[in-house]
């Protein structure tokens, strides 16, 4: 099973997505951001991204202390986010950030599924 590195739906991604969203919810709460557990209701990968992007636009303002805390907690380098936003000016910023957050959470779920985790989120 290859590590998810792009925002593309696959059997592996759909298998990992429920756990990835639980991980992301924990990262949001630990960063001081409210998390709507309805975001964990999966319809499609793009629907999940769109709902997360809408939530981000309302609750996690880019540049706020809590937003940067979230990036740190998710292990998503701030400079990578800024670079992506500058390079892809034709894209909705909240959607782009949502994709990056989801991909990183999928990677964490992948590593936990394949190599174990000391933390149990359930």
pLDDT in tens, 72-98: 999 999 899 989 889 988 888 899 999
What is the DSSP code string of the chain? -PPP-SS---HHHHHHHHHHHHHHHHHHHHTT----GGGG--S-HHHHHHHHHHHHHHH--TTSHHHHHHHHHHT--HHHHHHHHHHTTTS-HHHHHHHHHHHHHHHHHHHHHHH--S----
Q: What average pLDDT is seen over the chain?
A: 85
pLDDT at position 122 is 44
pLDDT at position 109 is 93
Mean per-residue pLDDT for 33-48?
A: 82
**CA–CA separation, 39 and 48 (whole Å):** 7
**pLDDT above 90 covers what percent of the chain?**
37
pTM here?
A: 0.85
The tokens for 40 are 């964990």
């Amino acid at each position: 099973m290859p590590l998810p590195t792009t925002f593309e739906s696959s059997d592996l991604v759909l298998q990992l997505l429920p756990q990835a969203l639980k991980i992301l919810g924990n990262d949001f709460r630990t960063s001081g951001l409210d998390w709507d557990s309805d975001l964990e209701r999966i319809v499609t990968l793009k629907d999940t991204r769109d709902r997360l992007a809408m939530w981000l636009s309302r609750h996690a303002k880019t540049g706020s202390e809590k937003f940067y805390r979230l990036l740190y907690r998710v292990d998503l380098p701030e400079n990578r986010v800024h670079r992506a936003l500058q390079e892809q000016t034709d894209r909705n910023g909240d959607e782009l950030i949502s994709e990056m957050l989801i991909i990183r959470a999928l990677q964490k779920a992948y590593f936990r599924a394949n190599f174990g985790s000391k933390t149990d989120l359930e």
